[in-house]
Each structure stands twice: as C-alpha cells, then as structure tokens.
Chains A and B, each alone.
Chain A
Amino acid sequence: LAKTTQPISMDSYEGQEVNITCSHNNIATNDYITWYQQFPSQGPRFIIQGYKTKVTNEVASLFIPADRKSSTLSLPRVSLSDTAVYYCLVVMNYGGATNKLIFGTGTLLAVQP
C-alpha cells in the first residue's frame, strides 16, 4: 500500500484558494488517489478522487502530475466551515474485496476570518 505524506497543518483566510499537496512516491499502476475531509467527532467525508491529470467537482479540484507521485487538492475560496482535517489516500483499484483505506496523518486546515 502506497504511503502518503502531507503537511501536518496549514493556515488560510476566508476567500483564499488553498492547495494541499500530498506525496505518494511508491504509487502503483492500479492505484487511485482519493481525498477525504473530516470534522471533529464525525466520520470522514469523500471529497474527490482521480487517477491522473485533473479532476474537478463542485467542491474541489485534484491535480495529478504525469508521474503520479504527488497530488494537490485545491479548495477554491475557502470559508470558515472548511476548517477540518484533510486526508490523502491511495487506493488500489482492484476487483477484490480487500482494498483497505489506510489513513495517514492528514492536514489540519485552519481557516481564519
């Protein structure tokens, strides 16, 4: 399972764009990159998932370079409610039933007024 490395914490202000980068140097060919958000005392919530290049949905964008050894989650115009821990995970895209989600340390994003 590919190990991920991301900053422990980040600070931002309301209205700014926030980019959180994650390293996954030993990602395998069949692995996908997925990001989750967690608020205190709640279960993680799926944000976005991608394999390569760029993926965008209504809440975020995910940029993945050609070598796929890193990825960047981009949150446009953050608000106070975006204060949370963001986890980057690498998931094997394999048809078996044992595709475990292994969480790293996550990045605590603190958004200030």
Chain B
Amino acid sequence: GAVVSQHPSRVICKSGTSVKIECRSLDFQATTMFWYRQFPKQSLMLMATSNEGSKATYEQGVEKDKFLINHASLTLSTLTVTSAHPEDSSFYICSGRDNRGLNYGYTFGSGTRLTVV
C-alpha cells in the first residue's frame, strides 16, 4: 500500500532555532500534502495544504512565516518550523493525497515529535 515516510520521528531543539521535517511519498505521487499539528490528548489540527509547485494555503491562525512549507516535487514536502519556541512543541503529521483520486485515499506519515527547550 501507499506509504508516506516522515523524518525525523523525534527532534529536540533549542529555543530560537529552526527545524525541518520531511515527508516523502514512497510509492505514489502526492499532488497535495497536508500538514497537521496535534497536542496531547487532542485531535489533529490542519495547519496547511500544499500543492506541488505552488504556495501553500494556510489555515486561519497559522503563521505562514513561522511554518514554512515547501512542496517542490510530487514525492517530497517539507515543513520548517522557524525560530521555534516551547509553545511550538507538538506532534506534527503530514498526509499525502494520492493524485490518482479519492479512492486511493490519504496516507499519513508516522509523525514527528518536536520538543523545544
């Protein structure tokens, strides 16, 4: 089945530094990638939608200059948390939408646990 490889699985960084999270669709082409954030005991919150070769669309309340998204190819999307602060500590998850259509579903990465100290 379809697989989205997400790296790193865990990262600890110092406050003020930037962290890049990568998501790769391994056996399908993802025209669209979604990025989510999940706080403990809460549901997934959609942050942004990225389409290959174009600018990402951010959900209301999500700072586009802080969460930089790049979707340069059909198999790779990256999320960079810039100038991270402790309140950015969360579980970040990406999801790829198979461009063959809805019946092929959405595949999620395994998530990245970000801890900012």
Contacts and interface: CB of A to CB of B under 8 A. Distances in A.
Contact of A87 (B43, B91, B99, B109): B43
Given A46-B107, A105-B43, A41 B91 contact: yes
A: interface residue count bin: 20 to 34
B106 A46 contact: yes
- Secondary structure at the A interface, as helix, strand, loop or mixed, is loop
A32 B95 contact: no
Majority-rule SS of B interface residues: strand
Contacts of A42: 110-111
Contacts of B31: 97
Interface string B83-113: 0000000010111010101110111111101
6 contacts: A41-B91, A42-B110, A43-B6, A43-B95, A101-B46, A103-B44
Interface of A: 32, 34, 36, 41-46, 49, 87, 91, 93, 95, 97-106
Interface of B: 4, 6, 31-32, 34, 36, 43-46, 49, 51, 57, 91, 93-95, 97, 99, 101-103, 105-111, 113
